[in-house]
Amino acid sequence: MNPDSELIARALTESDTDAFGELVKRYQSTIRQFLRRLTAGDHALADDIAQDTFITAFQKLGQLKGTGSFKSWLHTLAYRRFLRVIQTGANKYETPCDVSWQQLSTFDAVEADLLAEKLMSHLDLNERTALTLNCSEGLSHQEIAQITGIPLGTIKSYIARAKSKLNTLLSSQELQAS
């Protein structure tokens, strides 16, 4: 498998869309999943933003600095694109969705992702972003701060607050079920 840097170089110097297509294939899942979490399960919107993200990435490949990874850079573009879209749209993601205890014990991958997306609707946008990047992507607090441009201390407090909210929600669901 070609390393990212080689594919990026080919896409940059030869405008090789096949090389860039390989990068899209490689990172589509993580970017689409990330945006599905941010939109709390609006798959159509998430995929639209994901497409725009990759197109912006192709246009701005020359600006990619050697300091960070391509994946982190894609997340930064996706996050900024998402912010721009929601600034112009309604605040429909602020309505929390119902979560049932039965869903928590599901083994189906599709159901499990839908549940995680529903849980996101109980968090505000900054908490959603920080928690997804931390728990789902496995990024460090420092990396999240770089992607979002939010100070490190604030990121830590967003994650702690988000976890606390979800723990409370899960505990209440457990109580209802028992």
Partner 1 sequence: MNTNDLLNKILSYHQVLVDSRFVEQVIGRIERLHRMRQWILSFCTLAGVFFGFAGLSYLINYTSLTFLADLPGTTTLLSTLAISSVVLFLFWVFNDEFERP
Within positions 49 to 78, which residues make up the interface with partner 1, using CB under 8 A?
50-51, 54-55, 58-59
Among 7, 8, 10, 24, binds partner 1 (CB under 8 A): 24
- Tell me the closest approach of the beta carbon of residue 135 to partner 1, in angstroms: 4
Q: In angstroms, what CA-CA distances link 143 with 49, 52, 64, 156, 177? A: 21, 23, 16, 12, 38
Within positions 69 to 128, which residues make up the interface with partner 1, using CB under 8 A?
104, 109-110, 112-113, 115-116, 119
Given phi > 0 = left and psi -120 to 50 = alpha, else beta, which region is 149? Answer: left
Is 44 among the residues that bind partner 1 (CB under 8 A)? no
Is 21 among the residues that bind partner 1 (CB under 8 A)? yes
Give the whole-angstrom CA distance, residue 28 versus residue 54: 9
Give the whole-angstrom CA distance, residue 76 versus residue 55: 14
Among candidates 55, 5, 7, 60, which has minimal Cα distance to 31?
55
Nearer to partner 1, 25 or 90 (CB): 25
Among 102, 140, 167, 172, binds partner 1 (CB under 8 A): 167
Q: What are phi and psi of 67, to 5 degrees?
A: -75, -40
Contact footprint for partner 1 (CB under 8 A): 12-13, 15, 17, 20-21, 24-25, 28-30, 32-33, 47, 50-51, 54-55, 58-59, 104, 109-110, 112-113, 115-116, 119, 131-132, 135-136, 163, 166-167, 170-171
